[in-house]
A and B are shown apart, each in its own frame.
Chain A
Amino acid sequence: MVDQAAGQRSAQSSPSVRNAVVIGGNRIPFARSGGPYAYSSNKDMLTAALDGLVARFGLQGERIGEVAAGAVLKHSRDFNLTREAVLGSALAADTPAYDVQQACATGLETVIGLANKIKLGQIESGIAGGVDSASDAPIAVSEGLRRVLLDLSRAKTTPQKLSILRRLRPRDLAPNAPTTGEPRTGLSMGEHQAITTARWEISREAQDELALNSHHNLAAAYERGFFSDLVTPYRGVTRDANVRADTSMEKLGKLKPVFGKDLDAPPTMTAGNSTPLTDGAATVLLGSEDYARRNNLPMLANVVDAEAAAVDFVHGAEGLLMAPVYAMPRMLQRNGLTFDDFDFFEIHEAFAGTVLSSLAAWENEDFCRNTLGLDGALGKVDRSKLNVNGSSLAAGHPFAATGGRIVASLAKALAEKGSGRGLISVCAAGGMGVVAILEAREK
């Protein structure tokens, strides 16, 4: 599985590329779907997050090299969502932008794409980001009505038009709303994860404990002011609305299972150890070292490397959200690193079961040998270094915004520590996953 031919290299030692640094980030607090942002569109929220970033780093009227962002649930009118948000922001109107869509990995992928452009000298600065609204989701007309409307627009004569209109049936007036179901399997993400959770025999208690840590860590990070320069209030919301500082194992233990109820194994996944549908937006300012120095901006961390993977979940060969498990050894091997070389692990909590299944897979000798093609178990992640400032179970998960939240928080944690490396792992719909390495700037 591991691409031996790629060999090992250090991104820093490569002479032809320069460093891409994380300068900072800004996001709006994440809110539960149907809550305070219920009437804000993706464009509204992305613009708000961009404007907060502009204010934080004095970018008013500045032409940024490029802005890349995206949304997973997107209206067809939002074909140029990021460019439209830039035009609505305080950035210079001649700042170019492009949209990215890689399901829940969208936000992380925008960071990787722009960091690569900076490393190659194509741009000096970039803003990566993402936004999603589960409240303001697009609703499409039915296939029947859509076909009729399209054929009608092409019809020339009245008899033609009448005969097309006669095809319309009452059921064609019912709209289509988006779902979290995988198009090829018809299973929701939670149902997919329930299969994986059962396969790795992850207990209810272990999942609730991970959720509890996420809430406590996020609440503690707010208490010590960790997010004061990462989050800008929006619509009266000042911190992530989903966080429950006072939750407990007892409270989490009382929730009824919601996924995996049709499986043979007892269901373990609840609303407490699964992420809720969330609205929010996040952005990250990236630049070359030159750019940061010239503008007197901080340099929090280097973007070192990244790797994407995908698995065949369609035919049940692997779980839907397990692709990061495959991406990780390829990236570590290329960089000559092991889990012991990292001080922070940011593993996106789509579900507590996703994180715990990934950890179990990396610790499993047989799986790593026979499925990943490694010499032995990849290794154990030190749980005291995992999601230390909370993750998606507590903060919520506005799909495309999660990557920006993680990158900005991890870069800040690395800058606070002043040394070391951080590892990011994000799973995505379609059986995909993206992992990345950040490292602290040498002082």
Chain B
Amino acid sequence: MRDVALDSVPGLPSLYRSALLSSIPLPWGDGSAQRTSDASAAALPDVRHRVSGVQAMVGDLTRFQQLIGAPAQDVLPSGYLHTIAFPVAMSVMARKDFPLPLLGMIHLRNAVEHRRVIGFGEQLDIAAWAEDLRPHHAGTQVDLVTEVSSSGAVVWTGRSTYLAKGTRLAGPAPEAKEERQPFTAPPLTAVWNLPGSIGRSYAAVSGDYNPIHLTALTAKALGMQRAIAHGMYLASRMVQETKPAGVDSFSWSIDFRSPVLLPARVAIAVAQQSDARGWQGAAITGWNQRRGREHFVGRLARLADLHA
């Protein structure tokens, strides 16, 4: 894999802008827009984008922490590392040789390994690449892997799974649609009342101004009924509210089952798992009580402390 060093973390707004432009087929265009309908000869770019010496801005960090209900501590919330690092992965997706359309991709899953406490002043090195392009019954899936290192050791790894709906790959037949058990609501432990503005608020602290999160109008333009909550807002809040303080090495994942249309009242159930050694993990479900429909399921687990 070839390494491509970037000078700095690219801005998401400009990535969205160029994605938007390249999705419009223009007669004098370079043909890149055509890739949306033809991924048949697809291969992922064999590159790893790298940015070194990235540092959190304390003001941005504080606003992020306050929005997800975290105390404004001098350590980085797991979701904030995604915020810092993910634009590098986005820059991979925005490459002309990336075989799937950036806009309109559906966020299916995140899985993160958070190896140790990461201080807000640490100089972080970020690497991101795409892997595992594979068929899905509704299109094509791909994983974007983001690795954050500090002083030469990997401290945080995130894997985001995206679906390009309707884009078909040549090659193996897509897996059959998985039969999902009918949803039965677990015992309620909390409710998240998300105002219509939460997408704009999270965009302001994360820099992720994807139009599907901002207003009903911009979301409709991209085929959504209304604006939807950022997956990483839900994930960051889930981790913040579920992981006990003092557990510094942990993994978490979140599977998005249906979008949270804003404004929303998301029912939450947390089931903590503990044994004689203390907290071992938790299972979290977020759902819509009225419709009896799951929004997401999440898991947290303690990792063996590598630095003990």
Interface positions of A (Cβ within 8 A of B): 171, 184-187, 191, 195, 262-264, 314-317
Q: Are B270 and A262 in contact (CB under 8 A)?
A: no
Q: Which residues from chain B contact A186 at a C-beta distance below 8 Å?
A: 190-193
Q: Which residue in chain A gives the minimum CB-CB distance to B194?
A: A186
A314 / chain B contacts, CB cutoff of 8 Å:
189-190, 241, 270
- New contact pairs (20) apart from A185-B190, A262-B188, A314-B270, CB-CB < 8 Å: A171-B197, A184-B69, A184-B190, A185-B189, A185-B268, A186-B190, A186-B191, A186-B192, A187-B188, A187-B191, A262-B267, A264-B185, A314-B189, A314-B241, A315-B242, A315-B270, A316-B188, A316-B189, A316-B190, A317-B272
- CA gap between A185 and B193 in the complex, in Å: 10
Measured between beta carbons, the chain B residues less than 8 angstroms from A184 are: 69, 190, 241
| B271 interface contact, C-beta 8 A | yes
B73 part of interface (Cβ distance < 8 Å): no
Q: Is the CB of B192 within 8 A of A316?
A: no
Asked if residues A316 and B187 are in contact (CB atoms below 8 Å), the reply is yes
A191 CA to B268 CA in the complex, in Å?
Answer: 13
Size range of the chain B interface in the assembly: 20 to 34
- Does B269 reach chain A (CB closer than 8 Å)? yes
Q: Is B258 an interface residue (CB 8 A)?
A: no
Is there an interface contact between B289 and A262, defined as CB atoms closer than 8 Å?
yes
Contact B289 A315 (CB under 8 A): no
Residue of B nearest to A191 (CB): B191
**Nearest CB to that of B270 among chain A residues?**
A315
Task: Say yes or no: B272 contacts A185, CB within 8 Å.
Answer: no
Give the distance to chain A from B227, nearest Cβ to Cβ, in Å. Answer: 15
- Closest residue of chain B to A182 (Cβ to Cβ) is B190
* Min C-beta distance of B200 to chain A, whole Å: 10
Cβ-closest chain B residue relative to A179: B193
20 interchain pairs, CB-CB under 8 A: A171-B197, A184-B69, A184-B190, A184-B241, A186-B192, A186-B193, A187-B190, A187-B191, A195-B188, A262-B267, A262-B289, A263-B188, A314-B190, A315-B189, A315-B242, A315-B272, A316-B188, A316-B189, A316-B190, A316-B272
How many cross-chain pairs have Cβ atoms below 8 Å apart between A and B?
41
Which residues of B line the A interface, CB within 8 A? 69, 185, 187-193, 197, 241-242, 267-272, 282, 289
Contacts of B192 in A (CB 8 A): 186
Write the chain B residue with the least CB distance to A185.
B190
| A316 cross-chain contacts in B, Cβ below 8 A | 187-190, 269-272
Cross-chain contact of A185 among B185, B191, B197, B282 (Cβ < 8 A): B191
In the complex, are the beta carbons of A195 and B187 less than 8 A apart? Answer: yes
Residue of B190, B242, B269, B271 most packed against chain A (CB within 10 A): B190
Cα distance, A35 to B303, chains bound together (Å)? 57
Name the CB-closest residue of B to A261. B289
Give the distance in Å from the alpha carbon of A262 to the alpha carbon of B191 in the complex: 12
Residues of B within 8 A of A195 (CB): 187-188
Once the chains are docked, how many angstroms separate the CA of A187 from the CA of B192? 8
User: In this complex, which of A186, A187, A191, A315 has the most chain B Cβ atoms within 10 angstroms of its Cβ?
Assistant: A315
Using Cβ atoms and an 8 Å threshold, which residues of chain B touch A317? 272
- How far is B267's CA from A191's CA once the two chains are assembled, in angstroms? 12
CA distance A314 to B189 in the complex (A): 7
- B269: chain A residues within 8 A (beta carbon): 316
CA distance A374 to B193 in the complex (A): 39
Q: Collect the chain A residues with CB atoms within 8 Å of residue B197's CB.
A: 171
Q: A108 vs B188: C-alpha distance in the bound complex, in angstroms?
A: 31
* Shortest 7 CB-CB contacts between residues of A and residues of B: A316-B189, A185-B190, A186-B191, A315-B270, A262-B289, A315-B272, A186-B193
CA distance A43 to B191 in the complex (A): 34
Complex-state Cα separation, A187 to B242, whole angstroms: 16
Nearest Cβ on chain A to B300's Cβ, whole angstroms: 11
Residues of A within 8 A of B187 (CB): 195, 316
How close is A185's CB to chain B, nearest CB, in angstroms?
4
- Chain B residues within 8 Å of A262, by CB: 188, 267, 289
CA distance A186 to B282 in the complex (A): 20
Report the Cα distance A314→B238, complex, angstroms. 12
The distance from the CB of B293 to the nearest CB of chain A, in whole angstroms, is 14
Closest residue of A by beta carbon distance from B192: A186
Report chain B residues within 8 Å CB of A171: 197
| B266 to chain A: closest residue by CB | A186
Residue from B188, B268, B282 whose CB has the most chain A CB atoms within 10 Å: B188
Tell me the complex Cα distance, A49–B187, Å. 44
Measured between beta carbons, the chain B residues less than 8 angstroms from A263 are 188
Cβ-closest chain B residue relative to A188: B191
State the Cβ distance, B194 to closest chain A Cβ, in Å: 10
Task: Give B292 Cβ to nearest chain A Cβ, in Å.
Answer: 11
A25 → chain B, closest Cβ, in Å? 38
Minimum CB distance partner of B282 in chain A: A315
Nearest-Cβ distance from residue B250 to partner chain A, whole angstroms: 15
CB distance from A368 to the nearest CB of B (A): 21
Q: Which residues of A contact B272 (CB under 8 A)?
A: 315-317
Min distance, Cβ A319 to any Cβ of chain B, angstroms: 11
- A contact residues around B193 at 8 Å (CB): 186
Min C-beta distance of B100 to chain A, whole Å? 36
Bound together, the chains give a CA A171 to CA B200 distance in angstroms of: 13
Complex Cα distance A315/B69, Å?
15
In the bound complex, residues from chain A placing their C-beta under 8 Å from that of B189 are: 185, 314-316
Closest to A194 in B: B188
Q: Which residue of B lies closest to A316 (CB)?
A: B189
Please, which residues of chain B bring their CB within 8 A of the CB of A191?
191
Whole-angstrom CA separation of A171 from B197 in the bound complex: 10
- Alpha-carbon distance A211/B242, docked complex (angstroms): 37
CB of A169, distance to nearest CB on chain B (Å) = 9
CB closest residue in chain B, given A313: B189
Q: Once bound together, how far apart are the Cα atoms of A315 and B267, in whole Å?
A: 13
Shortest distance between the CB of B60 and any CB in chain A (Å): 14
**Could you tell me the distance in whole angstroms from the C-beta of B153 to the nearest C-beta in chain A?**
32
In the bound assembly, the distance between CA atoms of A420 and B173 in angstroms comes to 81
**A185 CA to B268 CA, complexed, in Å:** 9
